[in-house]
Amino acid sequence: MENLIREALSLFNVHLTGRHILALAAYERELLEWNQKFNLTAIRDVESIRTKHFLDSFSCVQAWKANPPLRLVDVGTGAGFPGIPLKILYPAMQLTLVESVGKKAKFCQHIVEMLGLEHVCVIHTRAEDLGRKAEHRESYDWAVARAVANLNVLSEYLLPLVKVNGTVLAQKGESGPAEAQSAEKAMKLLGGKLRKLIPVNLPGVADDRFLVLVDKVAATPPKYPRAAGMATKMPL
């Protein structure tokens, strides 16, 4: 874990304490164990988990610097990334994890209970269904997603969940800049405006990575998100 501590600090100015490390070590152990039974993630060795899951999750800190989210929704969280590592860093944050695959949602619930994380809600549903529920619609100050869908589709999943003046954060690979450009029309339609892209460097990872930040500048029209599956079939 020494490398993780050093790199979190040098790359993202994240100070990992003993409490953080204990939680991350337990998380890592359970992930390796569950992965043998259920295919939760393609990343299966310790080094890759620390770099491509933990460090990659911590990279989000560059988006908000000293002003972390009060309420964060992580859509398509999979085995809990980036939401759970961020919750470990910010215990006071209210976190909603959204996952449509049952075994992954179950794993997230297991980790939340095992680590005793408070104010975390794991919801086994699709993003489009959540975005139409009054108690979730336009109620988060940040929405995050990692490798869930193309940005014009992802905008329809995330922007309805974020309150006006909130922010969408999409973790993207090398296609990030091109996707951001081609999704600007969809963003505008949904009340969003592209703010900027932040390049992310992970040790030993050659691919370019980006944080795409989209500000919510106006309310999302009531007809969005459309019914489940429509955003992928007919992207805005």
pLDDT in tens, 79-136: 999 999 999 999 999 999 999 999 999 999 999 999 999 999 999 999 999 999 999 9
> Is the predicted pLDDT of residue 78 greater than 80, yes or no?
yes
Report pLDDT for 212: 98
Please state the rounded mean pLDDT for residues 215-229. 96
If DSSP codes are grouped into helix, strand and coil, which group holds residue 72? Answer: strand
Please state the rounded mean pLDDT for residues 202-229. 94
pLDDT per position as a tens digit, 182-193:
999 999 999 999
Amino acid at 113: E
Q: How many domains does the chain have?
A: 1
% residues pLDDT > 70 (the chain): 100
> Is the predicted pLDDT of residue 43 greater than 80, yes or no?
no
Residue 50 exposed, middle or buried by CB count within 10 Å (0-12, 13-18, 19+): buried
Report pLDDT for 66: 85
**H runs (alpha helix) in the chain:** 2-12, 18-37, 46-48, 56-58, 61-64, 83-89, 102-114, 127-131, 151-158, 176-182, 184-189, 230-233
Domain extent, residue 78, equals 2-233
CA atoms within 13 A on the CB side of 2: 0
Q: Are 92 and 71 in contact (CB under 8 A)?
A: no
Q: Are 117 and 19 in contact (CB under 8 A)?
A: no
> Is the predicted pLDDT of residue 23 greater than 90, yes or no?
yes
> Is the predicted pLDDT of residue 205 greater than 90, yes or no?
no
18-37 helix and 102-114 helix, angle to the nearest 10 degrees? 150
Report pLDDT for 31: 95
Q: Which residues are within 8 A (CB) of 25 and not within 5 positions of it... i.e. 6 or more apart?
A: 1
Give me the CATH number covering residue 212.
Answer: 3.40.50.150
> Is the predicted pLDDT of residue 148 greater than 90, yes or no?
no
> Is the predicted pLDDT of residue 158 greater than 90, yes or no?
yes
